Structure 1
C-alpha cells in the first residue's frame, strides 16, 4: 500500500506539468529564412597576420516583413570567404514596401598569409546564379 501511494504521487506530479502545457500559443507565427542582399562592406586596405578585425556589412531588407537577427552563413573556400546574410521573413503578414538597411559586424581572425577574398551575396542573376560583391584584402 505504501508503494502504491508513492506511485500515485509520482503519476500526479508528472501529469500536472504535462496537462498545463498549451499548444495554442499566440506568439507562434509562420516564417521562413532567406538570404538577403549585401549593399556594401567596409574592410581595411590590408590585414596584419595574427590580428582580428571586424568587417562592417550593410544589407537591404526588401520590406517590413524582413528582419535581421545577426545570422549569416560564412563559408570557407580556400582563401575565399563567402558571406550570405540570412533574413527572417514573416509569412502571411501585410508588409509595407519600404526597403530598410541595417549593418552588422563579422569578426575575422587573420590566420593565413595569402590574400583574403571576400564574396558578399548580392542576389541572383537572370540565370539563377549567385552574384557577389568581391573584395580582396592582402595580408602583410
Structure 2
C-alpha cells in the first residue's frame, strides 16, 4: 500500500509538471477564410466521357496576407459546376500591397454525357451578387 501511495504521488507530480510546460504561442494568430476571384481557367476544348482531367485555375491574391493552400469549394448545380477558391487571410498583421497570382488544379472525372458548364467565382458585383467566369466544355 505504501508503494502505491508513492506511485500515485509520482504520477500526479509528473502530470502537473507536464501540464505546466509553456507552449510557444507566438505562431498562433487570428485569420479567416475568404473566397478569392479566378482570373483564368485552363480547360480542354472537349471532354471524353469516363476520362479524368486536371483543370488548372489561376487566382489573384490581393495582398501579402492572403495565402492559398489548394482549397476550394466545388458545388453541383445541374450540369454546372461552381468553383470557389478559398484563401487563408491573416488578421491583425501588416500586409504588403502586393498582388500575386497562383495556380492550383482541380481533378474532374467526366461522368455525364451533357456538356459541363464551369462557373468560376470572380467576386461580387455592386449589388452583392456573385459573378463568374463561365466556360462550357462539351463531352464526346
Give the TM-score, by structure 2 length: 0.92
Give the TM-score, by structure 1 length: 0.92
**Deviations along 1:87-108, whole A, 9 cap, x unmatched?**
1111122222221111111111
Q: Which residue of 1 aligns with 2:9?
A: 8
Q: Which residue of 1 aligns with 2:92?
A: 92
| Structure 1: tracts of 5 or more residues without a match | none
Matched, 1:135 2:135: yes
| Structure 2: tracts of 5 or more residues without a match | none
Partners of 1:25 and 1:79 lie apart in 2 by: 47
Deviates more, 1:62-71 or 1:24-33: 24-33
> Helix, strand or coil: the match of 1:26?
helix
User: After the TM superposition, which segments of 4 or more aligned residues of structure 1 sit over 3 Å from their partners?
Assistant: none
RMSD: 1.3
Instruction: Tell me how far 1:59 sits from its aligned partner.
Output: 0.4
Partners of 1:16 and 1:43 lie apart in 2 by: 57
Pairs aligned (count): 139
Instruction: Tell me how far 1:21 sits from its aligned partner.
Output: 4.0
> Helix, strand or coil: the match of 2:6?
helix
Partners of 1:41 and 1:94 lie apart in 2 by: 31
**Deviations along 1:76-133, whole A, 9 cap, x unmatched?**
2222111100111111222222211111111111112221111100000111010011
Q: Which structure 2 residues correspond to residues 1-140 of structure 1 after superposition, within 5 A? A: 1-22=2-23, 24-140=24-140
